Structure 1
């Protein structure tokens, strides 16, 4: 595909210039050396060559500065006092895994350089170093980075039209899964570059994908429920075969883990495991109440109500009990579908303190056949955008949300626990009950006081909604949902719409718009991951 220097891309009704050479004219360099005062002539030379140098005298200072400011490249002295160069490098990579780092050292010892290379340095220079060597290394690294970024953009533009056309041609759920995965892969690839035009481009493609998938899913949902791609079939397809083969299994349910986030996490896990990831689907409404209970019971919601009427009534009597029977459901499933000899340990983690405690004692359950852990952090992070301005600023969009989920995971007690499972030769399966989406457009609905309070779905009496914004149904049994009264119906939000009442319009718009919510139908709420670490 031939590209103009600054091609125009149509985004909605506007044409935006797509600048592929989005590199800064002036390189920003952070240089940490405990003898930095002796290197003023080097710094002056680099500044004359359009390299903006920030000089610090310790690894601690470098780490602190990088926490609040972006740099193109970092230069580290290996033998600094305090935190040395290797340790500084590792801490910097936790802050920004992709930042290029050049190591300067007196030591040509093989162990030291292997350690540095293993910690992902981009280049190393042996003392004494002249400023031309530094300049050459910076240009080489950033030139390579620019070439990689340009290739990503060109490859994306070359396939964009094909992807866009494919959206209107998809005929079945398998084709949808394949297309959604491909678009999400491009989202993650484009996260690596800083080009606003390309970001608008992929967002526009994702929106059309979302709109068309939502229409398909609404029309085909009841027929799709017979396929083995929903939470009620998860234990049958993913856990039962492993247990029947004599494997010990760890089932980790990350509440609200989206498929795009899971793809990013799986990229990090490839270093340690044979990773297999594939998409599956959430139930509608896309909530913990329905989907996660379905995962652990192997049943659809109204089947749970019919099979366990006492437990169901207890769950519905108190919102805090909606998922209080997961352990009971799991044991009941194993007893009925595998055998009584399967030993099970189940736990749920809602905060850091308890997660650390569980990680410490997990060794006590090495002989248990099935360890199941539910983790609520990602869901809590998404909902925190409602109450916390700081969180709202940290995750204003999907790109930043993916980044924060990855940062948490790689530095969490959970990652450490997963590595312990590996040492025990335990098969590890990670999945989710639902995703979420950034809500942006309000829709006014009228309802009585007995209507549920959700922003993305509501259930009550005589509810209606414009088909453009959501879909409604008055026969919950057809959708395998519980029915509490004769006139009960559901309305489910599509795309990025959310439901509000006329008398609370300003309050809800101020507090909930541009926050992450779930319960409706969108790619990011419905399409879920199954990650196998084997």
Structure 2
């Protein structure tokens, strides 16, 4: 194993010989210099893992050397050693991206502790994280064999996401593989759980989770008319793990008031789930109440063109009092910028509903565009692209503007997505819909072990295209493939992000409330 190599520059380096000898005994290789110029020349020629710089050197000062070093290699940690803790000096050092500082006279134990923290920290954290997951792996494994409630399934999913994000920081393929297998096992059990309970939930025969059509009534409308404008922001297709990575950016500007979960209805597709959110109705009831607006799978045209009308009706039906509201759907960067410019006008409303479609478009683009496929080649990369979009989006600009005012923000989504890996053969007639995670039709032929079949759609509060229609839903990470052109279909859609079926990723949905700081 190669020794950790340290560069130490100090004009009084001879006085630090005891420190250097101790570091050599501990297995560190230390190169010493008496001025910034020589240190810089060596740093440009050799590889160092860590740099100690005296702040008060003649010629090139410690801060000047620090800036030059960071310009060469910004990833190498630099520790400034100083006689002074003056505020302006510390501000300059922090502004120059210092990693740590020590006050003279320097204690050898302080030096060792600093090295451990900056160099060995990654290895120590990696070992501790792996060990902690291995312990939790056994607990989770036993938990999956229990008869879990919906709330317990939520806890399982949150824990799996937690470990997914923690292990992502480590370069440990074996741990990743173990977690992937455990997540797959959990999704298999969760699919059975949903299959066993969904119809009873929807028909109020069993205690049920909060569903899409109950979301506004239970979680959002009670916040209206408190004198504080409520902004309901729905980012289409945003999974719980994707929310977790953008959440820290939001809490820079807002205080987290409540983190909660709700369950997407089936199909976990925009046409059904999002219309249910805004209307406050299940799809069958939407079809009955809005025969001219509701569109079935076989109808031509967009399926989410009437959300504002659904929302208006829901507000009148549920609130039964005056409510000034607005509805905006953001599909482009310019639309997002225009909305941000309207913040002052939006503040006059009691309630503002905003739909952002970027993540949904990203998942579809990943299917259709090779470049996006390569950029988002797994769940970690998919999260990373979501974070990058959010960091540079008009949505974050909007939130920054709103943070300067007294508002409540309710952030959620309509459904998540899952990366599909296992094709499931299905045969249907020409009227069968194109979604890869659910099918509606009258002559469907399929493997009954691989699907959740709803023979009577009305029992699930779903409309029928015709009298003999039924629905099938893909479970876990499967996706429906037609018999014709099977191989071509598999090659095109395998490993893409899809929604409409049953999985923790699609159904367990974040709804989070933030308030101004």
The bucket for the TM-score relative to the shorter chain is 0.7 to 0.9
Deviations 1:279-316 (A, max 9, x none): 21111111000000011111111111111112125997
In 2, Cα distance between equivalents of 1:339 and 1:78: 68
The secondary structure found in structure 2 opposite 1:444 is: strand
Residue range with higher mean Cα deviation, 277-286 or 428-437: 277-286
Counterpart residue number, 1:393: 374
Change (3 A) 1:294 1:27: farther
Structure 2 distance, partners of 1:115, 1:446, is 68
**1:308 corresponds to 2:290:** yes
1:330-368 CA-partner distances (Å, limit 9, x unpaired):
111111211442111111111222212221222322111
**Contact in 2 for aligned 1:76/1:101 (Cα 8 Å):** no
Describe the shift of the 1:209–1:121 C-alpha distance in structure 2 as closer, same or farther (beyond 3 A): farther
Partner of 1:296: 278
| Partner secondary structure for residue 440 of structure 2 | strand
Mapping of 1:161-180 within 5 angstroms? Answer: 161-180=138-157
Residues 76 and 271 of structure 1, relative CA distance in 2, 3 Å threshold: farther
The answer to whether the aligner puts 1:378 opposite 2:355 as a matched pair is no
- Give 1:501's aligned residue: 482
Query: Relative to 1, partners in 2 of residues 1:102 and 1:399: Cα closer, same or farther, differing over 3 Å?
Result: same
| Shift in CA distance, 26/471, structure 1 to aligned 2, threshold 3 Å | farther
Match of 1:198 among 164, 175, 178: 175
Is the counterpart of residue 265 in structure 1 residue 266 in structure 2? Answer: no
CA shift in 2, pair 1:451/1:144, >3 Å: same
1:125-524 matches, within 5 Å, as 140-225=117-202, 226=204, 227=208, 229-275=210-256, 276-313=258-295, 317-320=299-302, 322-524=303-505
1:470-521, CA deviations, whole angstroms, 9 ceiling, x for partnerless residues? 1222200011111121111111111111111122212211211111111111
Task: Return closer, same or farther for 1:211/1:39 CA change in 2, 3 Å cut-off.
Answer: same
Contact in 1 for aligned 2:298/2:465 (Cα 8 Å)? no
RMSD (Å), alpha carbons: 3.4
In the alignment, the residues of structure 1 paired with residue 101 and residue 87 of structure 2 have an alpha-carbon distance, to the nearest angstrom, of 13
Distance in 1 between residues matched to 2:151 and 2:96, nearest whole Å? 40
The 1:230/1:36 distance shift into structure 2, 3 A limit, reads farther
Partners of 1:314 and 1:467 in 2: how far apart? 25
Change (3 A) 1:448 1:269: same
- Can you list the C-alpha shifts for 1:31-86, whole angstroms capped at 9, x where unaligned? xxxx9897222445x53x6x499xxxxxxxxxxxxxxxxxxxxx9968869xx97x
Structure 1 position 530 matched with structure 2 position 511: yes
Q: Which moved more, 1:267-276 or 1:149-158?
A: 267-276
Q: Structure 1 CA distance, aligned partners of 2:221 and 2:135?
A: 43
CA offsets 1:383-402 (integer angstroms, 9 cap, x no match): 11112111111111111211
Cα 1:464–1:354 change in 2 (3 A) is same
Mark the CA change 1:242 to 1:154 in structure 2 (over 3 Å): closer, same or farther. same
Cα pair distance change 1:174/1:195, threshold 3 Å: same
Paired with 1:144 and 1:250, the residues of 2 have a C-alpha distance of 41
* Native 8 Å contact 1:464 1:491 kept in 2: no
Residues 313/393 of structure 1: CA separation in 2 closer, same or farther (3 Å cut):
closer
TM-score w.r.t. the length of structure 1 is 0.79
Contact 2:421/2:478 (<8 A) preserved: yes
- Range that drifts further, 478-487 or 147-156: 147-156
Q: 1:114 to 1:341 in 2, by over 3 A?
A: farther
Residues 315, 323 of structure 1: 8 Å contact kept:
no
* Structure 1 contact 250–421 (Cα < 8 Å) conserved: no
Within a 5 Å distance, the mapping from 1:9-88 to structure 2 comes to 39-44=40-45, 47=47, 51=49
CA distance in 1, matches of 2:63, 2:462: 59
Question: Measured at CA, do residues 426 and 36 of structure 1 come closer, stay the same or move farther in structure 2, by a change above 3 Å?
Answer: farther
Task: From the superposition, tell whether residues 111 and 358 of structure 1 become closer, same or farther in structure 2 (CA, over 3 Å).
Answer: farther
Aligned-partner Cα distance in 2 for 1:135–1:209:
44
For the 8 Å contact 1:76–1:102, the answer to whether it is kept is: no
Q: Which runs of 5+ in 1 are unaligned?
A: 1-23, 30-34, 54-74, 93-98, 127-132
Unaligned runs of 5+ in 2: 7-35, 52-61, 104-109
- For residue 166 of structure 1, report the CA deviation from its aligned partner: 0.1
Cα distance in 2, alignment partners of residues 362 and 200 from structure 1: 46
Q: TM-score, normalised by structure 2?
A: 0.81
Q: State the alpha-carbon separation in 1 of the partners of residues 448 and 300 from structure 2.
A: 32
- Larger Rg computed on CA atoms: 2
Q: Structure 1 residue 138: deviation in Å?
A: 6.2
Is this contact kept in 2: 1:286–1:520, CA < 8 A? yes
Distance 1:496 1:80, change over 3 A: same
Per the alignment, do residues 42 and 252 of structure 1 end up closer, same or farther by CA in structure 2, a change over 3 Å counting? same
